[in-house]
């Protein structure tokens, strides 16, 4: 049977959406006649990103709980009831053979209803600290695909499969050479290149740090490819010169990674998985403003294996200049970090998650 039907649900952030799209693409290769439907939250970015990737999406009236008492929180029970009812309707109409959840609030009601109808369900948990939705759903699904060791703290050990996180195919098959990348960006081959990544929207504290440290980079002879994010591009575009390139968004990530000698990045699950495959020395600056501080936990999992350097935001003023200068001047340390982070890579993650879905279908 090739004409399977799959529902994929997850969203709120790119960290939940892009893995879901990658898994759908992989399943499409395995089952060319399959039908796909995505389910997300009505007013979130998945309603734009999923159709751009060529898939249909249905929206639920759902959002997360705010940390303080607000009108939105008072609406939360109503939203849950509405989303459960809507999920039931979607499942009844579409009749999926399997459902895959990649985290985020929209996946909660959908997978809850699918599991209640004995439809095979798979969860994909990207972070080293499990998200609340996945923790609530874990008892009701057949398989949980994870990217880190020690996830039996959150899930039943017999359900866990360590697959890694889905990563874009152009990075797994990275063909760009350093020379091509330098020519693409118009950079010099006799100077080191620092790549700065703050996520697609940007990271305020990382951007202020980079601006403050531009004189340090200039004194060390470092060229900078700086993705400041679309929220901050107008603030920092004037920092551009022949040695500092400022972008709101990098469309050619394979070239950016190929050009880089050192990387400064946030430590969201997707970024960490990509950087493992790239295998370059990384300084992680986790965002402290995310659920359960999972970015710090992701970065710690790597720092503990001597596979990256972790600097917390509150330590940047005291530590950054020394840590960066020491790393820049120590080529052996750079090689060691690059080799160690590469050892954490799981480049076949998407394929392995799709194979877990296939196993459930065959049962």
Q: Which fold has domain 5-167+347-362?
A: Rossmann fold (3.40.50)
pLDDT-derived band at 70, boundaries 50, 70, 90: low
In 174-251, at which residue ranges do the beta strands (DSSP E only) sit? 193-197, 223-227, 244-247
Go through 241-267 and write b for each residue having 16 or more CB atoms within 10 A of its CB, e for each that does not.
eebbbbbbebeebbbbbbbbbbbbbbb
Same fold, 5-167+347-362 and 170-342: yes
Place of tokens 């060319």: 32
List binding-site positions: 13-15, 127, 168, 200, 295
CA distance 323 to 325: 6
Tell me how far the alpha carbon of residue 142 is from its chain's centroid: 23
List binding-site positions for UDP-N-acetyl-alpha-D-glucosamine: 13-15, 127, 168, 200, 295
For the segment 330-359, the average pLDDT, to the nearest whole number, is 95
pLDDT-derived band at 76, boundaries 50, 70, 90: low
Q: Which of the given ranges, 83-92, 199-208, 286-295, has the highest pLDDT on average?
A: 83-92
* Selected residue with higher pLDDT from 63 and 334: 334
CA distance 246 to 239: 7
From residue 85, alpha-carbon distances to 43, 59, 203, 261 in Å are 18, 12, 37, 51
pTM beyond 0.75: the answer is yes
Least confident of 126-135, 196-205, 271-280: 196-205
For the segment 37-46, the average pLDDT, to the nearest whole number, is 87
Q: List the chain domain ranges.
A: 5-167+347-362, 170-342
- The dotted CATH code for 170-342 is 3.40.50.2000
Q: For residue range 146-173, what is the model confidence (pLDDT) as tens digits?
A: 998 899 999 999 999 999 999 877 777 7
DSSP structure class, residue 81:
H
């Amino acid at each position: 049977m090739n004409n399977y039907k799959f529902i994929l649900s997850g969203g709120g952030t790119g960290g939940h959406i892009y893995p879901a799209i990658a898994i759908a693409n992989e399943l499409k290769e395995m089952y060319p006649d399959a039908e796909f439907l995505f389910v997300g939250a009505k007013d979130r970015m998945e309603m734009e990103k999923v159709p751009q990737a060529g898939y249909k999406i249905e929206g639920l009236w759902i959002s997360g709980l705010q940390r303080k008492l607000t009108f939105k929180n008072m609406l939360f029970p109503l939203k849950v009831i509405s989303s459960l009812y809507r999920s039931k309707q979607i499942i009844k109409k579409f009749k999926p053979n399997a459902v895959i959840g990649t985290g985020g609030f929209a996946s909660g009601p959908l997978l809850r209803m699918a599991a209640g109808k004995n439809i095979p369900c798979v969860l994909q948990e990207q972070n080293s600290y499990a998200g609340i939705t996945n923790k609530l759903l874990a008892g009701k699904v057949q398989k949980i695909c994870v990217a880190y060791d020690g996830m039996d703290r959150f899930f039943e050990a017999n359900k866990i499969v360590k697959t890694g996180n889905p990563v874009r195919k152009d990075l797994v098959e990275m063909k760009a050479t350093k020379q091509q990348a330098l020519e693409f960006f118009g950079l010099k081959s006799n100077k080191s290149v620092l790549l700065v990544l703050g996520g697609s929207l940007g990271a305020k504290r990382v951007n202020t740090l980079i601006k403050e440290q531009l004189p340090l980079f200039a004194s060390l002879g470092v060229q900078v490819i700086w993705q400041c994010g679309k929220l901050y591009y107008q603030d920092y575009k004037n920092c551009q010169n022949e040695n500092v390139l400022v972008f709101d968004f990098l469309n050619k990530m394979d070239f950016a990674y190929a050009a880089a000698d050192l990387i400064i990045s946030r430590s969201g699950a997707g970024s960490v998985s990509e950087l493992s495959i790239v295998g370059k020395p990384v300084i992680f600056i986790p965002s402290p403003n995310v659920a359960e501080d999972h970015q710090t936990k992701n970065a710690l999992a790597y720092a503990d294996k001597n596979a990256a350097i972790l600097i917390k935001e509150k330590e940047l003023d005291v530590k950054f200049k020394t840590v960066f200068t020491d790393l820049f001047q120590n080529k052996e340390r750079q090689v060691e970090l690059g080799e160690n982070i590469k050892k954490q890579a799981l480049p076949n993650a998407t394929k392995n998650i799709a194979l877990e879905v296939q196993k459930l279908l065959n049962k």
